[in-house]
Amino acid sequence: MTYPAAVPYGRLLDHANRHDPYPHFADLAGEPIQRLDECTWVVTGHAEISLLLRDPRLSAQDEVDPRAPVGSDGKPVRGPFLMQDPPHHDTLRAQTMHQFVPRILGIRPHIETTVARLLDRYGGPGEMDVVEALAYPLPVAVICELLGVPEEEESVFHSFATRLTRALDPVETLTEQEIADLAVTRVEWREYLLPMIGRRQTDLGTDLISGLLTEGDPATRMNTVELAITLGLLLIAGHETTVNLIANGTLALLRNPDALDRLRADPDLVPFVVEEVLRHDPPVQQTRRRATADVRVGGRVVPAGDKVVLLLPAGNRDPRRFADPDRFWPERPDNAHLAFGGGVHYCLGAALARMEGQAALGALAARLVGPRLVADPPPYRANMLLRGPAELRIAFDGVAASDAR
């Protein structure tokens, strides 16, 4: 048996369409929820995705994970909390939030200074790859600051982030070689982090790693392996996504010069620009769940055990929810997009991502003189789930001096 949804979904997976998956999302949008195969559904409706994200009958956890290792305490190691259900999820997430949130509260000036420093390297007419010049180094610098990692280690983090991100893609889009490489990368990541964690165990600092080592109740505190897993999650989820937010945003502004002009005339528009980038071209392209009970949604019943693929960008362009959904329109009222997900797994770093996106796009709009795309579309990385340009070359007549500080 074949299902109509399988064809457009297959085109979504195809790298040849990575630069513009939106027509293929539109092909799936006729029905808010539809079968992909015998045990999988794709969901494209905004209301339906919103509901399923917040439904306790949807699990984010793999059914059984035979690879789950056992920690030094003899208990099974809890995986990254993005892929855990309550109550383990809640414990791990609460510990991370408790240490993460206070550390990002005052970080905006640091972000703005970093953006200014990165753009200060340019002056007269020329070209830059926005990905390499700004989108990548900014979040790496921020996460290294949070973790208390010295600046010279940033390139190591950058490399790990790139390699680990492939792990999030649907396994059917990975080659055997990529799967084998990922296993090696995971071991290397742990080997890189464990000494770093060990040093803090004997000499506590004020950074996030030190905080997590002493967080809360010793009975539920993360062990070192879980800590390494959580840090890997923060690196991928907090880094690659932000890279794509900045690159996607730059692309949208250069493709929509009217919006860029309005942002230049009114810098207070920048939060709305970032929200519209998140709706129009979200960094995270899908998230998956498994039904633990029969769930009625959008007039269908997803039986217990079936999987659902929630296509966040399709929900973000659901014409039932957003007027003129393909239009990039920062002033859009009631822009309740799904870019950060929802429910218990709502993006932990949303506030930080917004700060970084606002600082980067605000500075680019204010400082670039006569910017234009060198190649449209730009080349895209292979990643399907965390989708974004591999490079984004722009030409400009100049980069104005910074007035930040």
Q: Which amino acid is located at 389 in the chain?
A: P
Judged by CB under 8 A, the stretch of 50-58, 67-75, 195-203, 204-212 that binds another protein is 50-58
In this complex, which beta carbon is closest to another protein, that of residue 91 or of residue 244? Answer: 91
Cα–Cα distance between 36 and 46 in angstroms, integer? 18
Considering only 6, 11, 37, 54, the residue that binds another protein (CB under 8 A) is 54
Phi (first) and psi of residue 126, to 5 degrees: 170, -160
Q: Three-class SS string for 274-311?
A: HHHHHHHCCCECCEEEEECCCEEECCEEECCCCEEEEC
In this complex, which beta carbon is closest to another protein, that of residue 222 or of residue 384? Answer: 222
Cα–Cα distance between 219 and 39 in angstroms, integer? 39
Q: Is residue 315 near another protein by the rule CB under 8 A?
A: no
Q: Is residue 304 near another protein by the rule CB under 8 A?
A: yes
Judge whether 343 and 307 are in contact, CB under 8 Å: no
Considering only 61, 113, 224, 335, the residue that binds another protein (CB under 8 A) is 61
Q: Is residue 266 near another protein by the rule CB under 8 A?
A: no
Q: Is residue 55 near another protein by the rule CB under 8 A?
A: yes
Considering only 38, 105, 152, 296, the residue that binds another protein (CB under 8 A) is 296
Minimum CB separation from another protein for residue 279, in Å?
A: 20
What length is written for the chain? 405
Residue 87: other Cβ atoms inside 10 A: 9
Considering only 50, 165, 250, 285, the residue that binds another protein (CB under 8 A) is 50
Q: Is residue 227 near another protein by the rule CB under 8 A?
A: no
CA torsion angle for 56, 60, 66, 69 (degrees, to 10)? -100
Considering only 30, 56, 76, 123, the residue that binds another protein (CB under 8 A) is 56
Which burial class, exposed, middle or buried, applies to 77 when counting CB atoms under 10 A from its CB (0-12, 13-18, 19+)?
Answer: middle
Closest among 138, 362, 113, 124 to 240, alpha carbons compared: 138
Considering only 57, 108, 190, 262, the residue that binds another protein (CB under 8 A) is 57
Phi (first) and psi of residue 312, to 5 degrees: -60, -40
Considering only 39, 180, 293, 336, the residue that binds another protein (CB under 8 A) is 293
Name which of residues 340 to 379 contact another protein (CB under 8 A).
342-344, 346
Token duo for residue 34 = 């539809």
Q: Is residue 245 near another protein by the rule CB under 8 A?
A: no
In this complex, which beta carbon is closest to another protein, that of residue 148 or of residue 343? Answer: 343
In this complex, which beta carbon is closest to another protein, that of residue 87 or of residue 106? Answer: 87
Considering only 90, 127, 151, 331, the residue that binds another protein (CB under 8 A) is 90
Cα–Cα distance between 321 and 34 in angstroms, integer? 18
Which residues of this chain interact with another protein, rule CB under 8 A?
Answer: 50-51, 54-59, 61, 85-88, 90, 292-294, 296-297, 304, 342-344, 346
